[in-house]
Structure 1
């Protein structure tokens, strides 16, 4: 995976996109296709809610601005060696999942969201938002500035939340150059929460999951956002299961940005979409394809629960309704 760069990028949305489901034996991703050859799994850290007051003041946190076509957000920078005792490492399975880096997908996702807002396809006003694998939390911060009623941030590591996500959110809230910063001054006073833990278990803490809400009609998050979370084939099923538990039905929407393929670790957008397609309950639409000629192709996808209706000729059965999304009208990220 490559960190964010400032190279100019061309964004294209193909008129028609197909992909073939991957098999577990012929995908060409080396040892990751054979579970017997994979390294033994490491127990994940415990799932916990991290409070805004738990910021690690001893860790140096600096910020720099990121301009996204007229929107300026702040991204924090901390030292991986100081936080985890690691140097020059993007990923240590079971210990550190790259949350201290700002990956390109986060910026791709914000650009795509902004385009869909401008086109009238979506609005965050009054909505519940969950950002999975948040790291810096920029997509969630963007949703907050766009009027979201609640934004919950999740990351594998509690240290990422304490040392980076919470300080980064507070820096953006105190940024006087942002038009909404005067109304949002501190994450203690708004519906913002932070949760750490593995995707297989963290739903037990999330307050809007159906099992934690008395009225199931009011359960779930209106939007789930995630960037660069589908890199490992070993975690895709757990991630997808979590999404289904957390997404509001039938109107919830998932946006995710990632590389088409992650060479060496086996994941990518197409691997994840194969899991989605096999399940058959969610419809996917390609929002944007980003190419810069020097790095892996990146994509932004939108997923929604399929709409089902009773068939008059078969009152005991259900038939999938046609999607209301017209691919030709989907906005392209700039």
Structure 2
């Protein structure tokens, strides 16, 4: 049984500011060579922002300017031993927001101009995910697919819930710990239909095609075969990760089963601005010497059965 996952190109909800022209260069390059990041503010503070630039040095929106799908002619920097030519049509760009084993909840600021990565703030405090034994922080490289959005006005037939108004999330299961702001090529292995506080929150299971083990993985069954226990840990993590905050366990569609196929649809986005406007926006984010402490990041939670 295949599952239908509908990804929508971002539209009016995001306060985006895009440059004129395209963000991808020409000729064979690896994904990260096409995009660079610039830090503003102090890490672990509410004013921290990670802005994105293209290969020409122009500011871009990672949410809108980075293509969803990998173009084998313009972004083909992956050795053929890692992905056959006919596999390129199934490769996608992933923006890494949270490196594996870290706790800070970093995310693309969909409501801010240029959509930089920032740390999520709730009730005036920086958000950190709890350590739930035996897990330390996030157990994958966690991020998102650009140009996608879960529509809060549309009820998903699979979950019977509306979208969470965020980009589609990706759990990258490769062997490397990646960095916040990296843009990598991934192949999608499967999906998990999480219902998070009553909202549809699809999770894609994927692997970096430049990972040393990538050639072994083609679908969700290969994850269980070559990384036994990882899918079970993923299910448990999403089910329990908000319990330390006093919230109930999350639920899943399909009885928590991972599905293996996707269907993607995109359309154009209308937002544009000049490079002068983009540069002015970045310069407004000033550095700060203040660093907010986080004791919760060092606390472990032991949840009874």
Same fold (TM > 0.5)? no
Please identify which structure carries the higher helix content: 1
Looking at both structures, which has the greater relative contact order when contacts are Cα pairs under 8 Å and sequence separation is at least 6?
2
Q: Structure 1-normalised TM-score?
A: 0.28
